[in-house]
Structure 1
């Protein structure tokens, strides 16, 4: 009886979302917001026709401060609800909704840019939305000015001094419209916005999760690794410095992005420099330092080992701490395993001291799920190489032989196995919500909701890691010198 009464009261509140009085809409939405959390049984009421669309319309209300307050609650509700496939499909179908989110994110004065980043992070877990972001181009109006032409010389015998009118002083203005790729714009604000340097109201950390979601697609990995010519850094090179960032959200999303990019096997030799001597070869994105540095502590190496290490890993400060999140540590080590599937990279890793760093990290590690890929990596590095291994004999992983899916990133400690039992979404307050799932990632627009009712979330995980070496290589070699 009480549940029925609550349902009726909430349905009445929905009718006030279209009230012409802004205070009425604000109070109604503030009252509805607590019922959008995953543990609220009344959450399914929001899946009724038009309710999601009403929230989407309110979320794009801007400018006046009261309207911003209402839009804040609408975005927060959509963030909570976007762990549900049906909600994301409906938002994806709304004309201009994703474009509006991107415009809000890149606006340097937007008050709600971080909420828009959270919602785009959740929505881009759907393949169709990730593809839309990849192909999206945002039109910009560019105003250019031309200096006024020099005045004609005065006729002979007349005074040269004469006052120019306002029209003569004004430069000629021209406007042109140019379309810019949305990913380029998002990458720019992600780099500029760190520490609220671009927008005082946003830090843009959740864009790292958007890049991780997009990099699950081949087109997304191509964006990260492509460049007009070898003298210009590709987008991935601009992201890798954040693997040591204080924000777990930012460094976790970047770590997942790097791992997904490493599944492009054709570009592996561009991702590890051949030696520590001098700058990397032209066109090389050297990931090794940024992958190893979070795995390093304050241990002291013998002088002969120090000589092998990149200079950035030598003589680290006494207060140097290893990455605290085991899920991120797993992603970093698995990326090294992926990159070690080629002979050239394995040789480079041996020359550059990867083994002693991993040996110390393994001795420190307490999570078995992180130790397992460490053993795989060492088995690849310590195996005997000969003419038969001169080719890349260790195949990259495929979907057919994949391990259980691993979420792209979660702020909560990973399970001991390193594989997730569900999909991680961000809630409106920034907390990570893990929903149990057992279905494949994503769905095309118009597809039915995935199993077990309308509130079933869809699946997202970063590209899974397969068996990376022959099964007979089971001896643990980490303690060898």
Structure 2
């Protein structure tokens, strides 16, 4: 039976290049169910030039392009698939052009595929260096405007680029792809830029790119200290309804916090007035998701930032344990610098974490909260103060971008919007069903950050939050 199924599938592959569009569509639709992670037949897609055929079909008619992108999303949890796609001239550029097209129907699928592909550090580096000779326009361009897949420096783009975008306009000045992706990420929240896309999976792209030093430099850099750097523009999404968006942003913030040279720029010294010029105050956006509707004493209330005071009775803590852990670990990272610890003590971090610890049910998150309290409440008088923690207590430096097969929890997403393990041929099974344009927000968030090294525990550390 298996041999018969294999023979039938191999015959279907021959119809992917049929000149008749209905034939290509039916053949691809029949092959699509075999791309899910638990399908043994998905190895057949690695034969010959089938991956390259699917890439070419991303520029086909919309129904065909939808299934081609969905198939590649499912298959991109495999190293060989991502490597082959990365080698195709113009493919990543085509995905970016599809994403920034305000009327493209498949932008969210392109975001999902770019999210999976950017877990390979070579792809993240390509995104960092990519410049697109097109600019975003508010209104649709004239009918004779160049298409999104037309040449523009990519010799073979026609064989691998994504579908055409009528709202892209040729520009004499090339624009950094990350700047374009950031713009549509901000404008596209809630389908405000493109009625067909919410761009939530771009948050995962930023998280993957920020694993590289150049990616963190992009997030923290600005041409003028009076201009907000990219990181400051996205931190508000830690309270967004979409689990994918707020989880990706939380991971991006955590990765940026590994840049020790910028630590003192990431926490304002006080709650009074605006933050110092050039400061990206992360404290409010890290603490707000950890707050519930508890009431604090007046003396404690005066210490808190204004945004954390008098929260409504409907306020709920971040429901996802993985995201809560990322937020607390980010606070631990920031607390390794003495100026930040002083600021965090003065701005009421301890009372917030104490209340969150009382309500926390996940041991790993509770342990991270205790590590944070150990940093904040340690004695730091004239004889005991240290400006930077040593290697025995501070978190380890950020490792390079994760190597394939090095970490099983890499958070790949399938075309059905389901988080799956990868990259390997024997991945966890994904839910069956027709591919969706966007991932469901009810899926648990998974991240691929390497956990912080454990700090030295203190005696009765579980009781420390109540005793200090």
Q: TM-score, normalised by structure 1?
A: 0.81
1:255 lines up with 2:254 in the alignment: no
Greater than 6 Å deviation, 4+ residue runs: none
Map 1:279-294 onto structure 2 (within 5 A): 279-294=274-289
Moved more, 346-355 or 132-141: 132-141
The 3-state SS of whatever aligns with 1:177 is strand
Partner of 2:389: 393
- What's the offset of the Cα at 1:177? 1.0
Distance 2:13 2:419 in 1: 27
Q: 1:303 to 1:233 in 2, by over 3 A?
A: same
Give the 5 Å matches for 1:199-210: 199-210=194-205
Structure 2: distance between partners of 1:364 and 1:15:
58
Unaligned runs of 5+ in 1: 62-66, 144-174, 408-419, 438-458
**Counterpart of 1:423 in 2: which secondary structure?**
coil
SS in 2 for 1:179: strand
Structure 1 478/283 Cα, relative in aligned 2: closer, same or farther at 3 Å? same
Distance in 2 (CA, whole Å) between partners of 1:349 and 1:142 is 40
Q: Offset of 1:246 from its aligned partner?
A: 0.2
Which structure has the bigger radius of gyration? Answer: 1
Q: CA deviation at 1:142?
A: 9.6
Q: Report the Cα distance in structure 1 between the residues aligned to 2:44 and 2:296, rounded to whole angstroms.
A: 60
The gaps in structure 2 that reach 5 residues or longer are 138-169, 425-445
CA gap of 1:436–1:128, structure 2 versus 1, over 3 A, is closer
- 2:143 aligns with none
Q: Which residue of 1 aligns with 2:356?
A: 361
Give the aligned partner of residue 325 of structure 2.
330
Q: 2:277 aligns to what SS in structure 1?
A: coil
Paired residues, number: 408
The answer to whether the 8 Å contact 2:120/2:403 transfers is no
Counterparts of residues 54-453 of structure 1 (less than 5 Å):
54-61=53-60, 67-140=61-134, 177-387=172-382, 388-395=384-391, 396-398=394-396, 421-435=408-422
TM-aligned CA distance change 1:399 to 1:259, over 3 Å: closer
Give the match for residue 475 of structure 1: 461
2-side partners of 1:232 and 1:109: how far apart?
A: 30
Q: CA deviation at 1:424?
A: 1.5
Change (3 A) 1:68 1:246: same
Alpha-carbon contact 1:106-1:186 (below 8 Å) kept: yes
SS at match of 2:33: helix
Q: TM-score, normalized by length of structure 2? A: 0.84
Cα distance in 2 for residues equivalent to 1:14 and 1:176:
39
Determine if contact 1:216/1:463 at 8 Å carries over to the other structure. no
Aligned to 2:151: none
| SS, match of residue 464 in structure 1 | coil
Measure the CA separation in 1 of the matches of 2:80 and 2:108: 23
Q: Note if contact 2:135-2:175 (Cα within 8 Å) is conserved in structure 1.
A: no
Report what 1:171 is aligned to.
Answer: none
Give 3-state SS (helix, strand or coil) of 1:422's partner: coil
8 Å Cα contact 1:406/1:464 also seen in 2: no
